[in-house]
């Protein structure tokens, strides 16, 4: 099996798994308990907070653990809007793009159904936000702008610092879903000027079921209304017993990401470029989607003209890849991301997303490219 679906999820790094194991069977205390086992767990949580804080360039007390980026996004977006409303605020505009993950779009659409003004920033043919239009659409009525760090299908990296500057100039807050970018490109919340940032452990070789919402200010954080009420954990922002093993795993995953970021991004980008070049040269009909330069180093979105992508994948039994984001799996509609870039429905249905990862080898890439070329030519002959 050649696994090229690392956008959907990554394998848990063996070092991450090894670090987690003692907290299932030995140091299994509740991190809120005052006894020795509890305090050992609490200490491990603090270490993980510091590791994640280093990854994003924030402070330990600014890290709020969640069940994943979906919860983090909901907590950020609904938390800001509800708090503003409860305080009698007058701002009613929420700004995003049409190519965000569903866990951003769905809560914003929910708020729109309650009367909030939801505005979508246009993107160009590479998926990058149009900053001139953003300057017009982010107004004095805007409460929050939410734009991803990098797209989960085409890998395009957004101009977050510029967007945050526009938002702050209008008195608005800036949220970023960084779940695809974390561990793959450098993220520094101070340089990006964001106020809220979401990430998920399983996208960066950590365990599933754990994520983070970074909230600027820590104990003096901007006010958010929680989604859940109960034990008052995380300063009342996110109640629930802390999943210490998962938190430890995310901490180690963050530390490994920091250590390996430069070398790994260069390695995967080189493999990705070799993969693309081989396919484009051998199959002249292949189109590379997104921003060729400003994209994630492990990403490639390729359109195979004249063929259905699902049919092509069905003839590649050794290859694991997908036609789009995992959250859109099973949809009979063409990718909304690709349509937003200007692709036709036929082109969108002929597109495959490949996501290289930490454990992808050069041999696998060459074998995958060769198998794709063979399968494409066989299918093309059948359809001729």
At residue 323's C-alpha, the angle toward residues 330 and 304, to 5°, is 140
Residue where the block lists tokens 């859940």: 228
Q: β-strands 93-97, 117-121: how paired?
A: parallel
| Fold of the 2-8+262-383 domain | 3.90.1150
**CATH label, 14-256, candidates 3.40.630.10, 3.30.450.40, 3.40.366.10, 3.40.640.10:** 3.40.640.10
Hey, where are the domains in the chain?
2-8+262-383, 14-256
Q: Which class for 274: exposed (0-12), middle (13-18), buried (19 or more C-beta within 10 A)?
A: middle
Name the active-site residue from 2, 112, 327, 373: 327
Rounded CA separation 283/124 (Å): 26
Residue where the block lists tokens 């990705």: 272
Whole-model pTM? 0.95
Answer whether 78's CB lies under 8 Å from 114's CB.
Answer: no
Per-residue pLDDT of the chain in tens (384 residues, 90 and over written 9):
999 999 999 999 999 999 999 999 999 998 888 899 899 999 999 999 999 999 999 999 999 999 999 999 999 999 999 999 999 999 999 999 999 999 999 999 999 999 999 999 999 999 999 999 999 999 999 999 999 999 999 999 999 999 999 999 999 999 999 999 999 999 999 999 999 999 999 999 999 999 999 999 975 667 799 888 886 667 778 888 999 999 999 999 999 999 999 999 999 999 999 999 999 999 989 999 999 999 999 999 999 988 999 999 999 999 999 987 555 555 568 899 999 999 999 999 999 999 999 999 999 999 999 999 999 999 988 876
Q: β-strands 319-320, 2-3: how paired?
A: parallel
Answer whether 130's CB lies under 8 Å from 122's CB.
Answer: yes
Q: Which residues pair with 351 in a beta bridge?
A: 303
Active site residue 176: no
Q: Is 119 strand, coil or helix?
A: strand
């Amino acid at each position: 099996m050649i696994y090229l679906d690392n956008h959907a999820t990554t394998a848990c790094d063996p070092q991450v798994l090894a670090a987690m194991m003692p907290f299932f069977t030995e140091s299994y205390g509740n991190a809120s308990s005052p006894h020795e086992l509890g305090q050992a767990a609490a200490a491990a949580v603090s270490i993980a907070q510091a590791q994640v804080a280093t990854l994003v360039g924030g402070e330990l007390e600014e890290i709020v653990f969640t069940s994943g980026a979906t919860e983090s996004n909901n907590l950020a977006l609904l938390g800001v809007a509800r708090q503003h409303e409860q305080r009698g605020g007058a701002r009613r505009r929420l700004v995003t793009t049409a190519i965000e993950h569903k866990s951003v779009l769905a809560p914003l659409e929910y708020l729109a159904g309650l009367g909030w003004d939801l505005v979508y920033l246009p993107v160009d043919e590479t998926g990058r936000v149009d900053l001139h239009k953003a300057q017009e659409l982010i107004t004095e009525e805007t409460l929050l702008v939410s734009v991803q760090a990098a797209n989960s299908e085409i890998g395009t990296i957004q101009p977050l610092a510029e967007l945050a500057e526009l938002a702050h100039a209008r008195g608005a807050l800036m949220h970023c879903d960084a779940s695809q970018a974390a561990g793959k490109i450098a993220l520094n919340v101070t340089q990006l000027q964001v106020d809220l940032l979401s990430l998920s452990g399983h996208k960066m070789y950590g365990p599933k079921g754990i994520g983070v919402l970074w909230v600027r200010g820590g104990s003096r954080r901007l006010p958010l209304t929680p989604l859940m009420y109960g034990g008052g954990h995380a300063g009342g922002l996110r109640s629930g017993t802390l999943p210490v093993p998962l938190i430890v795993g995310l901490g180690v995953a963050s530390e490994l990401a920091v250590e390996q970021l430069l070398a790994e991004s260069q390695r995967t980008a080189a493999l990705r470029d070799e993969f693309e070049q081989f396919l484009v040269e051998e199959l002249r009909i292949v189109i590379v989607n997104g921003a060729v330069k400003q994209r994630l180093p492990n990403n490639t979105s390729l359109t195979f003209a004249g063929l259905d992508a699902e049919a092509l994948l069905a003839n590649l039994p050794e290859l694991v890849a997908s036609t789009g984001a995992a959250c859109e799996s099973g949809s009979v509609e063409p990718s909304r991301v690709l349509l937003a870039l200007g692709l036709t429905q036929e082109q969108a249905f002929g597109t495959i997303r490949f996501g290289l990862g930490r454990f992808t080898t050069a041999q696998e890439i060459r074998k995958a490219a060769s198998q794709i070329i063979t399968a494409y030519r066989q299918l093309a002959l059948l359809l001729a």
